[in-house]
Structure 1
Amino acid sequence: MTEVNRPCGTLRQIFPEGDVFAVTDDGALGAEAAELGLKYVPLDEAAGLPDGARVVLLLQHHMISKPMRMFFRRQAVLVVPMASFDGAPDAAAYTLRMTLLTDYLRAASTAAYWIDKLRENAEKVVFGPPRADDADPDATRLVCSLGSALRVDAWPNASIGTGQWVSIGSCCELSITKQPSDVGGDVFSMDGVALASGVLAACDPRVTAAGERRVLEARRLRAEMAALGTIRLSMKDNVLTSVTAGGEDFTERLREVTNPDHGLQALELGIGTNLAVLPEVDWRFNSQLNEGAGVMHIGFGEGITGAHMDFVIPESDHHFLY
């Protein structure tokens, strides 16, 4: 993997001056952060941080909580919620390095581009060729119809100020989400085929006991699919009709781990803005930094009653239809 420039890698795009503190709940990860130019502070000693401190909060073992957020209300915080994906040492080290390789300026510019385009009220965005007649049956062509009730989460700024708490996910992707109870195309609806290279499994801090059991199985399922190479997804009226990899069909297992009550409807249309790290991505890792490295991703499940699983499409052109 490309070496991280010292000190602090590309985090200098966000925090151009002063010390950048790596606050983490794991000593080994803190030591690695220190080797990469950050100033390590254990989580249980973070009360000593000065007001206005620039913080990268690396949560390898703890989930995000409201009290934790309030604790850092006087600092400028970039949050990396590793425990929501995979808190294992190798996954955490990988996520740290990718955090320091992210081009935050380019990501912010890409997010701003998509926000401007969505404000133009396009009826559809097509990933792949705009005409169905030009589509290769073995390539991505996904038609995403856009409704009037879009909910967008993104941080289209390459800076974080005092009192701001920003998730790494908001920096590296633009997320359009819907609730399981949403019906019809008021938010979005997808049809077509997508070829994914990456798959992620995550949980929400509010995960239920039943949801946690599904998340554990989802992580095993994710590892199986990730080892098989390209993953093919077929969508009809925003419902996943099949997902296959390596000649195996994973549709029913995916339905179960994301909560069968949701019926494999897509709950997230994600636009990757962290494209600069794509050459460095290792799809074997269940890391949030892989999520925004592709042109787009499709998410199933809400992470509470079942796993939230994202399928990342690394390369595709796109076209807006009005």
Structure 2
Amino acid sequence: MNIREFHQSLIQKQIPIIVDSLEVNLYLTEQGYKTKLFDLYNFESQEAAFLIFSDYRYYYKLKELWQTSKSRIVHLPAVKFDGRLETIDYSFKQIIAADIEQCLTIRSNLYEKIAEADSDLSLSDWRGSKLNCHLGERIEIANNDEELDPGWFYSIAEFLESSIVNTKGDKASFSVDGTFFFDGILYQTTTEDTKEENIKPLKYLAERVASSQEKYLQIEDNIIKHLILDGQDVTSVLLDMSYHLERNLSLTEIAFGCNKGILETINWEINSVLNEGVYGTHVGIGMAQKAPHIDFISQTLKLD
């Protein structure tokens, strides 16, 4: 099964949705979806299923199933962002409404452009963004597959962006310099402890970004040197978080969103993984393990 077939089956309510809370279960069954509780689902079955996380305990359980599951699973990792029902509702509606064929075509084209680039990607926009992205000899991408393999767990976000990541080192795949104007942010953590330790500055930053008009980053040698909101340098908010435990303020991702359908409906006040797929560009810091992963997202800067 490929992602196109999967998405169509999800829209037509032909595949089960695995849930980890009674609240989410009720939300979906009232709309006519077939649901199965996580604890009752047979991951040795070879069927396709969609999975929604709202509880960290079940996110941890899924990670333990990587070696044994035989199902084809695409998931919405809501709890890593915001596991509340209102955020899940927003995210799920965006998934159902997405033009997955268009998204995959754009994703494929963007990955081809990245592959064909000699060593540098230069991007600019009318707001004053000017980025130079130097690519390493061997770059690591998030995922460009369209077929869903048994035993793998795919985040829905993988199909809505073309992403280059620095997982092996600070500049293993890419290095960025320049000025980056952005529209909104989102943040995620893969552990509950990391979220609890950083949630106050994260929420403060999200509120400041949402209420600011002009917002941009100044990046030197792949490191965020300044975060400016309406003329005020608020880089200290980032430094107050636990980035010293990972990569400090070094960029760990540069990615290009492929979802044009969300351009008119995106809500920057909602911390949803679907927002990072908006057609444009985003850069991220943090590995989401010991420190939050924050994406700074622009709708105007594009890799054309």
Common fold by TM > 0.5 = yes
Aligned to 1:165: 153
Residue identity matched to 1:232: Y
Q: 1: distance between equivalents of 2:281 and 2:228?
A: 18
Instruction: Compute the displacement of 1:251 (Å).
Output: 0.6
> What's the C-alpha RMSD, in Å, of the aligned pairs?
2.8
Residue identity matched to 1:142: L
Mapped contact 1:264–1:301 kept (Cα < 8 A): yes
Alignment of 1:57-68 (within 5 A): 57-62=51-56, 63-64=59-60, 65-68=62-65
Q: 1: distance between equivalents of 2:298 and 2:261?
A: 15
Aligned to 2:41: 46
Mapped contact 1:296–1:314 kept (Cα < 8 A): yes
- Percent identity over the alignment is 21
Q: What secondary structure, in the 3-state scheme, does the structure 2 residue paired with 1:226 have?
A: helix
- In structure 2, relative to structure 1, the CA distance for the partners of 1:302 and 1:68 (3 Å cut) is same
Mapped contact 2:189–2:293 kept (Cα < 8 A): yes
Q: 2: distance between equivalents of 1:34 and 1:11?
A: 19
Residue identity matched to 1:140: S
Unpaired segments of 5 or more residues in structure 1?
Answer: 1-9, 130-135
2:226 maps to 1:242: yes
Mapped contact 2:281–2:303 kept (Cα < 8 A): no
Mapped contact 2:166–2:252 kept (Cα < 8 A): yes
Aligned to 1:182: 170
Aligned to 2:285: 300
- In structure 2, relative to structure 1, the CA distance for the partners of 1:37 and 1:116 (3 Å cut) is farther
- Residues matched between the structures, number: 297
Instruction: Compute the displacement of 1:156 (Å).
Output: 4.0
Mapped contact 1:33–1:96 kept (Cα < 8 A): no
Using the size of structure 2 for normalisation, the TM-score is 0.86
Cα shift readout 1:246-273 (whole Å, capped 9, x = no counterpart): 3432211113325136341111111212
Q: 1: distance between equivalents of 2:220 and 2:112?
A: 28
Q: What secondary structure, in the 3-state scheme, does the structure 2 residue paired with 1:139 have?
A: coil
Cα shift readout 1:84-105 (whole Å, capped 9, x = no counterpart): 1111221122112112122222
Cα shift readout 1:208-239 (whole Å, capped 9, x = no counterpart): x5675135532442233223244211112211
- In structure 2, relative to structure 1, the CA distance for the partners of 1:227 and 1:300 (3 Å cut) is same
Q: 1: distance between equivalents of 2:99 and 2:140?
A: 25
Aligned to 1:151: 140
Mapped contact 2:165–2:252 kept (Cα < 8 A): yes
2:28 maps to 1:33: yes
Q: What secondary structure, in the 3-state scheme, does the structure 1 residue paired with 2:133 have?
A: strand
Instruction: Compute the displacement of 1:311 (Å).
Output: 0.4
Aligned to 1:88: 84
- In structure 2, relative to structure 1, the CA distance for the partners of 1:200 and 1:253 (3 Å cut) is same
Aligned to 1:275: 260
Unpaired segments of 5 or more residues in structure 2?
Answer: none
Cα shift readout 1:100-143 (whole Å, capped 9, x = no counterpart): 122222222122112222222432222226xxxxxx5x432222
Using the size of structure 1 for normalisation, the TM-score is 0.81
Alignment of 1:1-322 (within 5 A): 12-13=7-8, 19-47=14-42, 51-62=45-56, 63-64=59-60, 65-70=62-67, 73-128=69-124, 138-157=127-146, 160=148, 162-179=150-167, 181-183=169-171, 186-205=172-191, 209=193, 212-260=196-244, 262-318=247-303
